[in-house]
A and B are shown apart, each in its own frame.
Chain A
C-alpha cells in the first residue's frame, strides 16, 4: 500500500514537471517578446526590462530558474502589472472562486446523489422519467447559455435575484446553478445507472432474502458499491469547480481566478497565463491522486501492490 502511494506520488510529480516544462517552452515558442507592442520601446528600456525579468539569459537557465521558483511555490512576476506577482493574483482570486466552487460542489452533491438514487429505485416511474429529462437538459445545454437565460429570467424579467456580484448571499444562487448544472446532471445520471446495475447483483438478492429492510439493503449494501464510479468522476469535477469556471465569472462579473486568467490572455501576460495554468494542473493532478486513495477506503476489494 505505502509502496503504491509512493509510486503514485512519484508519477504525480513527474507529470507536473512535464507539464511545467511543456507549458514553459510553449510560452517561449511564441514569436515576439512580451514587450513587443504597437509602439516600439527604446532599445535601452527593452534591454533593462529583459534584464529585470531575466529574459536575456539562455532558455535553459530561465527554465531552471523558473522551476526553482516553482519548488518554493513562487510562480514569478506578472509581466504586464509591475510589482504584482502571479501568486498575488491567485491569492486574490482563488478565495472567491474557491468559495463559489465549494458551495457549488455541496449543491451538486446534495442534489445529484439523492436524485440519482430516487431515479434508480423508481426505475421507469414518473420520478425516473422526470429526473432523466432534467439531467438530459442539464448535460446538453452549455453553461453559458443556462447562465444568460437564468440571468434574463430571474434578474431582468422577474427581478428576484441580483444579476452580478456577491453583495448579498442571494448573488450566489444563479452562478451556483449555472456552474453546477452540468456536473449535477452528469452525476445524477451516473449515480442512477451505477445503482441500477448494483441492484441487479446477487448479493442484493441475498441481503433481501436475509430479511433486511429495504433501507438497509440500499444504504448498507448497494450504495457503497454504486458510489465508486461517482467518486471517479468527482475528483476532476471538484478540481474544475474549485478553480472556477471563468465563463460564469465573466457573465456574473465575479472577481475570481477566471477573471485574472481571461484578462491575462487578452493582455498577453505570459507569466500569469503560465502560472495559473500550472496552478490549475497541479490542483487537478492532486485531486485525481486523492480520489485514487479514496478508492481503497470505500472498496476493500481494490488492492494495490
Chain B
C-alpha cells in the first residue's frame, strides 16, 4: 500500500468552531499592485531585466563622474589600443607595437606610459628605430608577424598578454577611451528612452483617449491623421528637423522628432481600450451624475486602461532606443564628438577587420539594454494580464 495515501489520525480530529476564524482568509490578502509585483518577481527573466536597467542607469549616471578620462579628449599617441594587448617583454617593462607599427611603452601593471619617440625610419630595410629609455630599439616590419629588436641587436622573443589598465575597453581611432564613451552613449540612450516614455504617456494617451471618447467624425479625422503620420518614415522627420535646427548636436533633432510623432502607436492602443471601456455602466453612471468629460477621461477611463498602456510603454522604449542608435548609425543622429552607441558601432564598422573589439562593446551595450527593457515589458505584461501569459 502506498504510504502517501494513509491519512494520519490527527487529521480526523474535529476542529474547534470559532466565530472569528470562520471569516479569516487562508491566503494573505494582496492589493492589486502587490499581486502584480508578486507575479512579476516570480519570473527570473523580468528580475534580470530590472537588474539590467538598474545597472545601466547607474552606469550612465555615475560612470562618467568616476571615469578618469573624458569622452571627447583625443590622445593621438594611444590610437586603436585593444583591451588585451600582446606585448614584448623588455626588461622590467613591456612594449606594445600597435597596428600602425608604433611602439608604446607599457608598465608591468598594464598602464600605458607613452609612445616611444622615433629616431630614424629605414624604409629600404623596413625597419624603424625608436628611443626606449635612451637606447634604440628597432621595429622590424619586413617579416610577418613583425618583430622587435632590442638595443643589443637581438630579437625579442618573449611575449605575453596583458590587460590594458589605462583604457579598460581599449581606445578608438582617435585615442578616446571607449568605456567613457560607452557611458555617455548610455546617457543618450536613456534620455531617448525617457523622452519616448514621456511623450507616449502624455500625448499618446490624451490623443487616443479624446479620439475614442469623442467618437464619430472627430475620431475618424484624428485617426486618419495618425495614419498619415505613421506612413511618413521617422528618418524624414529627423532630417527635416535637423535642417531646420542648424548647429545643434543632433540629439535635439532626434528628441523633437520622437516627441512629435512617436506617440501614434500608443494613441491606437489607448483608443482601442477606451472604445470598449466607454460603454461600461460606470461610465454611464458618471455621465448621469454630471461628471465633466475631462474627469471621466482622466479619472475613470484612463486609469482602467493603465495595464495595456504600461505594457505598450515598456515595449516602445526599446524601439525608441533602437531608433536613436539606428539614426546615429546611418549618420543622422548625434554628431561628433558626442558619443552614441549607434555612432560607436558605425565607427567600428570601418575598422572591423583590424579592430573588432571596438564593435563588441557598443553592440553588447545595445543588446543588453534592449534585453533589459524587453524582459521587463514581457514580465509586466504577464503580471498585469495573466491571461496573456506566455504569448
Chain A contact residues, CB within 8 Å of chain B: 11, 14-15, 18-19, 22-23, 26-27, 29-31, 136, 139-142, 144-145, 148-149, 151-152, 156, 193, 196-197, 246-247, 250-251, 261-262, 265-266, 268, 273, 277, 280-281, 284-285
Contacts and interface: CB of A to CB of B under 8 A. Distances in A.
A19 B232 contact: yes
For chain B, the bracket of interface size reads 35 or more
Interface string B355-385: 0100100010011001100100000000000
Residue among A27, A31, A265 with the most chain B CB within 10 A?
A265
A15 B325 contact: no
Residue among B224, B231, B232, B236 with the most chain A CB within 10 A?
B231
Residue among B236, B244, B322 with the most chain A CB within 10 A?
B236
A144 B326 contact: yes
Interface in B210-250: 224, 227-228, 231-233, 235-236, 239-240, 243-244, 246
B232 A281 contact: yes
Contacts of B184: none
A140 B322 CA distance: 9
Interface stretch (B16-24, B198-206, B279-287, B328-336): B328-336
Contacts of B329: 144, 247
Given A144-B326, A145-B366, A148-B359, A26 B240 contact: yes
A273 B236 contact: yes
Given A15-B224, A18-B228, A262 B322 contact: no
Given A15-B228, A148-B359, A265-B239, A142 B244 contact: no
Given A193-B391, A277-B233, A280-B233, A142 B228 contact: no
The 7 closest A-B pairs by CB, nearest first: A193-B391, A140-B370, A145-B363, A281-B231, A30-B243, A18-B228, A142-B322
Contacts of B366: 141-142, 145
18 contacts: A15-B228, A18-B224, A22-B232, A139-B374, A140-B371, A142-B325, A144-B325, A145-B345, A145-B366, A145-B367, A151-B352, A152-B356, A152-B359, A246-B330, A268-B243, A277-B232, A277-B233, A284-B231
B29 interface: no
Contacts of B371: 140
Given A148-B363, A273-B236, A262 B330 contact: yes
Nearest to B364: A145
Interface in B109-157: none
Given A152-B356, A262-B330, A273 B374 contact: no
A273 B240 CA distance: 10
B240 A27 contact: yes
A279 B337 CA distance: 35
A265 to B, nearest CB: 6
A152 B348 CA distance: 11
A158 to B, nearest CB: 13
Contacts of B363: 145, 148-149
Contacts of B65: none
B318 interface: yes
Residue among A152, A246, A273, A284 with the most chain B CB within 10 A?
A152
Contacts of A251: 349
B353 interface: yes
Contact of A30 (B232, B240, B332, B349): B240
B356 A31 contact: no
Contacts of A197: 391
Nearest to A142: B322
Given A30-B240, A30-B244, A140 B367 contact: yes
B369 to A, nearest CB: 9
B341 to A, nearest CB: 9
Contact of B240 (A29, A144, A281): A29
A144 B330 CA distance: 10
Given A145-B366, A148-B359, A251-B349, A15 B330 contact: no
Contacts of B231: 15, 19, 281, 284-285
B227 A15 contact: yes
A158 B325 CA distance: 28
Contacts of A273: 236, 239
Contacts of A23: 232, 236
A62 B75 CA distance: 52
A183 B255 CA distance: 26
Nearest to A250: B330
A224 to B, nearest CB: 20
Nearest to B318: A140
A253 to B, nearest CB: 11
A31 B326 contact: no
A280 to B, nearest CB: 6
Nearest to B354: A156
A65 B349 CA distance: 43
Contacts of A247: 326, 329-330
B370 A142 contact: yes
Nearest to B45: A136
A277 B236 contact: yes
Contacts of A15: 224, 227-228, 231
Nearest to A144: B329
A246 B246 CA distance: 25
Given A15-B227, A30-B244, A265-B332, A152 B352 contact: yes
B353 A156 contact: yes
Given A149-B363, A193-B391, A268-B243, A141 B232 contact: no
B247 to A, nearest CB: 12
Given A31-B243, A144-B345, A148-B349, 5 more contacts: A18-B228, A22-B228, A31-B246, A144-B329, A193-B390
Contact of B391 (A27, A140, A196, A261): A196
A281 B236 CA distance: 12
Contacts of B244: 29-31
Residue among A144, A247, A250 with the most chain B CB within 10 A?
A144
A136 B372 CA distance: 12
Nearest to B372: A140
